[in-house]
Structures are given as structure tokens and as C-alpha cells.
Amino acid sequence: MAGRQFAVFIDGEAGTTGLDLRRRIEALDGISLLSLPEAERKVPAARRRLMAEADLVALCLPDAAAAESVALAAELGAAAPKIIDASTAHRVHPDWVYGFAELAPGQAERIAGARRVSNPGCYPTGAIALIRPLVDAGLLPPDYPVTVHAVSGYSGGGRSMITAHEASGGPAFELYGLALTHKHVPELFRYSGLSRRPVFVPSVGHFRQGMLVSVPLHLDLLPGRPRAVDLEAALQARYAGAALVSLAPLPADGRLEPEALNGTDRMELRVFANEAERQAVLVARLDNLGKGAAGAAVQNIMLMLGLSDAAPAREKAALDA
């Protein structure tokens, strides 16, 4: 298919993720973007018309609107395009492939062969990346009582949160989701490999983007009483050769700030441990708008369109330009 141009329609291109996704795709070869005039962006017939012209549709919409778009595409029958959904509407749906390419061996191939892919949430991306390899390696029992703490920049909270922080300053820091029913918990639970529902405590800081996700562990409660090097080995084995996810060295000062990977699609994983006290904290750092949103969407789109071989290098060049 050398030289072929694939047509992509971003349904919801005016939102935070949609705008970022458009910017990224415009810098890539092999893809042309279809777009509607602003007055037609909510007109079902106009959206369906562009869906009929597209090879792939990226949904950057609230959950209910995303479900409506999927129904519109289904009306096209065999001519329906491939779909990637950035909302939470289909992340645990059995007919959709979860779009975390590094989830497990073969996941990238499943994404490449899928007609419908759900793009992961930012928080679950970091948590699953830390937990799933340890469960698969037998180091972390599926029924271990996992707690996940995370802090994100305010851009992950949508338009109202962005407006609150940028217009009036917003709070320096706040916990939220304290009813313990955050919308990311179902996918975190399902794809982490856990059999016991994890406790998830999200928070937001007064910075635009960036994210830290942490998982504390009592090493003496784990099978075989593993050391930090055992946890690191499991993570290294899972992500060896991965272009965007890697095990990173520990900072000399014992501190980690959330913004260092902003503007990239990389995710760094670290294991902090006190062997004397038999405790550890696993930490993932990523850009909530990169690997946590539009960056992951581009990675999945490239896989779905068969353009994945040069995707990381192309996207890095585009971001660095």
C-alpha cells in the first residue's frame, strides 16, 4: 500500500483531545484529514456523510455522543469505517479491542486487526502498565488489595476544569472521585489482571499537563517475598523493545515531578523501595495528553491503518519540529 493516503475523520475535533489529535495527525505522512464546517459538526447526516468517506473515524466526544456516533457509523453497514473511541463508552465492551498496545504480548497485533478500538484513559494507562506485568509474572496476587494514587494536570479534567484553573487560578491541589466510583476504575480493574477491585484515588494539581501514578506495595505480603530487583525484572521483561514505555533509573534526590515528559508520548516506570522495611512504591510518569490521550490514539491509528512501522519515529519528529 505504499503511497496510499488514508482518510481520517475526527468526530469532536474542537475539544481538548480532538485538537491535539488533529495537530499530531496533520504532521504525519499517509493520512489526510476530513473535516466539517463548524455549523455542521453536530448534524448527524453531515457526520454520517464524512464517515462514509473515511477509512477511520476517531471519536473525541463525551460518552453519550460517542455512542450516538457509533450508531451512525453502523448505519453504513459493510461500508462503515474503522473506529477508535477516546471516550470511556466502550473501554470494557467485549466487542472492542483495548488500545493499550503494550498491555500484553500480541495486543498490538489485536489492535492492528480490529475494526473498533477503545483508547485507554490516562490514569489506567499508568496503573495497568505497573500492575499487569507483576500479576502475569506471579509476583502480585490477583486478589491483592491494590491502591492506586495519581495526580494529573488540570487539562485532563475537560473544558470546565481548564477554564476554572486558567481563568480564576483554581486550587493548588485537590483530591476528587472520593465516592470511589471514578469512571476509569472499570477498565483499570479489567485490564490490570486483578480479581479484587482496586481503590483508586485521583487528584489534580495546578499545572496544565503531566501525570504521576503510584502503587504502594508491602513486599512481605507478596508470594516469594520479592525484592525491588524482581519487580524491575518483570517490568523490564514486559517492555523490552517497546518504543514508548520503559523502565527508568531512580532520581538521585529521591524526587519525581509530573511534567518532565510533557510534549512526548513516552511513559517511564520506576520501582522505589526500602528493602529494610520491605516496602515499595511503583510509579509511572507520562503526559496525560500524550501517552494518556492523543498520543496513544495516534499510536493506535497507525496500527489500525497499517502504518505502524515508522509511527514512533515520525511522531517524535513531528513533536520536536
Which DSSP string do the residues of 69-82 spell out, in sequence order? HHHHHHTTGGGPPE
Side by side, the strands of the sheet bearing 116-118 are 31-34, 6-11, 56-59, 82-85, 116-118, 97-98
pLDDT, residue 255, reads 96
Does 1 map to a domain?
A: no
- CA-nearest of 172, 181, 137 to 154 is 172
Alpha carbon of residue 26 to chain centroid: 20
Same domain, 115 and 204: no
Structural domains of the chain, count: 2
Residue with cell 524526587: 255
Same domain, 69 and 138: no
Kindly report the CATH number assigned to the domain that includes residue 63: 3.40.50.720
**Helix/strand/coil for 174:** strand
Q: Is 306 left (phi over 0), alpha (psi -120 to 50) or beta?
A: left
Kindly report the CATH number assigned to the domain that includes residue 202: 3.30.360.10
Domain assignment of residue 238, given as a range? 122-288
- CA-nearest of 153, 134, 29, 291 to 299 is 291
Catalytic residue numbers?
Answer: 122
Q: Are 311 and 101 in contact (CB under 8 A)?
A: no
Does 179 map to a domain?
A: yes
Same domain, 31 and 158: no
Percent helix, percent strand, percent coil in the chain, to nearest 5: 40, 20, 40
Same domain, 134 and 263: yes
The pLDDT profile of the chain, 321 residues, written as one tens digit per residue, is 456 899 999 999 988 899 999 999 999 999 999 999 999 999 999 999 999 999 999 999 999 999 999 999 999 999 999 999 999 999 999 999 999 999 999 999 999 999 999 999 999 999 999 999 999 999 999 999 999 999 999 998 878 888 888 887 788 999 999 999 999 999 999 999 999 999 999 999 999 999 999 999 999 999 999 999 999 999 999 999 999 999 999 999 999 999 999 999 999 999 999 999 999 999 999 999 999 999 999 999 999 999 975 444 444 444 443
pLDDT, residue 2, reads 54
